[in-house]
Structure 1
Amino acid sequence: MNNLICQNDIKMLIATLRTIYATQFNKNFPAEGKNAIPMNMVEQIASNTLAGVMPHQFQRGLVLLSTSGKTFMPSFAEFRTLCIGQDWWNAEKAWVKACEYTKIIEHKAVEIEKDVFQFQEITTIAKFALDQVSLLIADGEMHRAKSEFMSVYSEYLAEAQLKGRVQEWYQEPRQLTWDNDQEKQVEHVAVSNEEAQRHLNDLMAKWNLKNRKIHKPQELKPKAKPLNTPITNEWPDPFEQPDAYLKQCELDGCVVPATIRKQLGGGHV
């Protein structure tokens, strides 16, 4: 037994069906014979079928059942539709509403009470199912889109009813709008012709290269060295110090030809 409607509610439903449709009830659920169905089993089937139905929905279904005037006894599934049909769209109706929703160019909210507006164009579950098949619709595969939409919608509808949720309208996200009041607060103050002409002349002067003051770049000049500046790292004179010269060539890796080496009279290479 679910936690939404109690066992007494199920017994009330069966009693109402047996009273209004006595002949059909006994034919569908015989109490005797080889096709007899125990009443506790009938109650269990009814309880399972009505899982997720709220008490107020159940009471409305009983009223509609008693006042419908139909000559054929509804099944438990049809009675469930009587209970929740006004609270939830079935899959077929949800698909029709979803198709209508895709054709809306400008979404408009309705005033449900004073200064309270609400969008009532599509339900949250229908919008979710529509988003799942939007690519199929864009590709023109409407038959497949409808099939998958109804499958997804029916699955989430059953889950929502089992959780005792009520149908909710999908609310369009708020769009950013320009604040007209803020725009009105900013007032443009015109300047005089003389001031406008002065600003124009200043601008033209900046654009005119001839009137620009171009700073001359700094000129770099080499510093003069005094004449008596000593020379550092001076090599030995090859004629005055031939041995020292040849030794310095050897340290720096310079090869001195044999002819010059003989002329200098040194023994270093």
Structure 2
Amino acid sequence: MTDRVIEGKNLVRRHSVLELVEHWAIALSGLLLILTGLLELPIGKRYYVTEIPWFSWSGDFYTTLTIHYIAAVVFVAASFFHVFYHGLLGEGGLLPRRGDLKESIKVIKTFFGKGDEPPFEKYLPEQRLAYMGMAFIIAMLIISGLVKTYKNLLDPQLSYAVTSAATWIHNIFFVLFIAAFIAHIAALVIKPNRPMVRGIFTGTIRLDYARGRHSLWMAALERTKTPSTDDGRGGEREEVAGTGARKDGHVLPGEKPDPGNETGSERTNDKKEEL
């Protein structure tokens, strides 16, 4: 887990670079799949899309299909990487929990001035529900898309029933994917969510915002991770809570040592001086 407070900058890291890469790989390839999927209807020539500069290719079915396949490779690879990578790490922060639906309704009501928001963890309850919904849509698109690709490239004689079912499923979930994508963007327009836009591009959000709205997440984060500062001796210094002592037992000039960190010889010398 890379979540950490960035001291002196009023920032907290919410997403790692790897998470940003996988997010944008799925998002951009997904957008390209939507575009090429629409062009295969076909609408390129019908609605004069081919007349737009640099879009003359949009009227050629095989060109749009090839681009669709290339985007699909990136989309599927990034999706599988997301599932296996975070699964192996045991990261389940986005998985739905009992009571998320009820909490989501409460949160939505607060957008209209009804009640106050409850304290949140790293992810909002509606984010967890939306994540599972999007995951199901993507899974159905991948499965049906693989069947259609198998038919196109390897088995043109695949039964009509299987081909028809795969096509209907792909088309239905294609529409749902567009709707979910629009809802995902629209959620960021809502005022309380706007500070999270920064995290999509930089991986960080404002620390004061996180402490105010995601207090449960920040409490857990600050409870388990003690900020480190440079001790001026060529390395980082981790302080023992409530003292000026380093974990290695050294004490910096002007700092009061913790008796609990003194070695046996130091305590013996102190007793001799007292005598």
Q: TM-score, normalised by structure 2?
A: 0.22
Q: Please identify the structure whose Cα radius of gyration is greater.
A: 1
Structure with greater proportional helix content = 2
Larger RCO, structure (CA 8 Å, separation 6 or more)? 2
